[in-house]
Amino acid sequence: MITTILWDVDGTLLDFGEAERRAMRKLFAEFDLGECTDDMLRRYAKINVSFWKRLERGELTRDQVLRGRFEQFFGECGIDPGIIPEYNRRYQLRLGDTAIPRDDSVELVRALRGQVKQYVVSNGTVAAQTRKLEKSGLRELMDGVFLSEKIGAEKPSRAFFKKVFDEIHPGDLSQVLIVGDSLTSDMQGGINAGIRTCWYDPEGKPLPEGYAVDLVIRDLRELPAYLDARQAREER
């Protein structure tokens, strides 16, 4: 039986890609930087992912990620790096302006209330995630929110999950499930923590060798059937 679900936010419960695109375009207009082209958006997205993966591996600090991604992007695009501090500050706010649920995620979380405990576990910044969760209505539906910036440790580290478990006291870890789209952050974090793992893979990518996840879903609405099936097995 699953009694606790740990939810990732960006790319899982909410559409991060669209939030990122809208934030960048708004800021280009605010800073009078000209057109933010599709090619520039793709370039920034690739840079951003690479910096966050380095954070997951412990190669960079959070501040180095938040600053360094724009240093590289601005350098490649010929933009004055002097605006980076203010650009990054506003970027967190603009990210929080867009909260688009994936696969009826808000309704799903609402339907699961009372059946399981549900918590957010995210590496996203406090400024962006707080706004997104409030705007989407997810905050009031969750039993708690754990953001790595506040915790002082990042997914997939054991330290992150230890701090979460020290607060929620889940008991049997085999009854805890993490749901997320990132293999390196969410799934590896779940493996490190000794809990069950559900990889959200909407694009149908093949599971790389080396990841023994418990469940793969392409749509979040597949999750209740899995929970019901596990409960039925427990009751037999």
Catalytic residues: 8
Residue 80, classed as helix, strand or coil, is coil
Residue 66: name the closest of 19, 123, 135, 11 by CA: 123
Angle at 125 between CA 122 and CA 129, to 5 degrees: 70
Q: Is the peptide bond before 156 cis (omega within 30 degrees of 0)?
A: yes
Q: For the sheet containing 144-147, what is the strand order?
A: 144-147, 117-122, 4-7, 176-180, 196-200, 215-217
Q: For the packed helices 105-112 and 223-235, what is the interaxial angle rounded to 10 degrees?
A: 20
* Residues with Cβ within 8 Å of residue 152, at least 6 apart in sequence: 163
Positive or negative torsion for Cα 166, 168, 169, 175: negative
* Residues with Cβ within 8 Å of residue 210, at least 6 apart in sequence: none
Backbone dihedral angles phi then psi of residue 144, each to the nearest 5 degrees: 180, 160
Positive or negative torsion for Cα 97, 103, 107, 110: negative
